[in-house]
Amino acid sequence: MRIHVVDHPLVAHKLTTLRDKRTDSPTFRRLADELVTLLAYEATRDVRTERVDIQTPVTATTGVRLSHPRPMVVPILRAGLGMLDGMVRLLPTAEVGFLGMIRDEETLQASTYATRMPEDLSGRQVYVLDPMLATGGTLVAAIRELISRGADDVTALCLLAAPQGVELMERELAGAPVTVVTSSIDERLNEQGYIVPGLGDAGDRMYGSAG
């Protein structure tokens, strides 16, 4: 597994405001959207392309376009929805699937409650969106589901990661074609499974605590 921590002043600036508990939900959503676009720029460096001949107003030339099958973007509900616009802004022709997963707050184990994506992902590059790589259980389960459907290149975009989550993914997904792109690997997890210093519950900060 590869992990890429994006080191950029704008990333650090936006992340600092996201961490601040005084940042309200509308501002949090806007900054998360902007931060995801910056992460997506790095995450798509290896997106597959094919050569194409075109005619400019001046002459004939050769360029590139996204190859088929198109990449797929899969936000993990619900917090991953807040990352979707920032991702498809760079990949407007990508298909979008959805994966609903929930973590048991006592056992910290993830379970799937909804899926909406093709059964066959053979030959597809897939970009998974999940704000927090905390214990790692949710992303491991999600990526295993994608690989079981044939995805041969999976990139997870996370606003933050914890060392424990990274270690779990490296252990459980050893040898799998997986990359993690994040803005920071924080210090640790606390007893409740939250990232420290972190930014709290991303879903609650984006959408409120209802439900």
Name the region of 182 (left: φ>0; alpha: ψ -120 to 50; beta: rest).
beta
Does residue 2 or residue 110 have the better pLDDT?
2
Dihedral pair phi/psi, residue 171, rounded to 5°: -80, -45
Q: At residue 211, does pLDDT exceed 50?
A: no
Q: Residue type for 204, please?
A: D
- Rounded Cα distance, 112 and 203, in Å: 17
CA separation for the pair 85, 81 (Å, rounded): 8
Q: What tens digit of pLDDT does each residue of 65-108 get?
A: 998 888 999 999 877 888 999 999 999 989 999 988 776 666 65
Distance of alpha carbon 190 from alpha carbon 155, whole angstroms: 26
Q: Is the dihedral of CA 50, 55, 58, 61 positive or negative?
A: positive
- Report d(CA 129, CA 22) in Å as an integer: 25
pLDDT attached to residue 32: 92
For residue range 119-168, list pLDDT tens digits in order: 999 989 999 999 999 999 889 999 999 999 999 999 999 999 999 999 99
DSSP tally for the chain: helices H, then strands E: 6, 14
Q: Which amino acid is at 132?
A: M
* Distance (Å, whole) CA 153 – CA 127: 9
Three-state SS at 105: coil
pTM: 0.90
| pLDDT at 101 (0 to 100) | 74
Q: What is the pLDDT of residues 23-62, one digit of tens each?
A: 999 999 999 999 999 999 999 999 999 999 999 999 999 9
Minimum mean pLDDT range among 69-78, 105-114, 191-200? 105-114
